[in-house]
Amino acid sequence: MECHGPAGEGDATNFYPRVAGQHYLYLLRQMHDMRRGKRRNANPEMWEVSKDDRDEDIQVVIDDMSRLPSDG
């Protein structure tokens, strides 16, 4: 919420992408790629925040994010 916004709307000024309305598998793949170092444009803070998260916890968060309604 702090970076991507309370509704997952993102923040273009600070280069935080919109997560609302994104597909579960897309978000999950992006998270896994970021944690594995395959996503080179990922914010280092995102890696730091998520590096110790369990896969099960990430799946729950991603599931919740994928259900946020999209405005566009």
Q: How much is the pLDDT for 44?
A: 83
In angstroms, the Cα distances linking 16 to 20, 21, 34, 54, 72 are: 12, 15, 14, 23, 17
Number of alpha helices (DSSP H) and beta strands (DSSP E) in the chain:
3, 0
pTM: 0.82
Q: How much is the pLDDT for 27?
A: 95
How far is residue 52's CA from residue 35's CA, in Å, rounded to a whole number? 10
Show pLDDT as tens, one digit a residue, over the chain (72 residues).
888 998 999 999 988 999 999 999 999 999 999 888 888 788 888 888 888 899 999 999 999 999 999 875
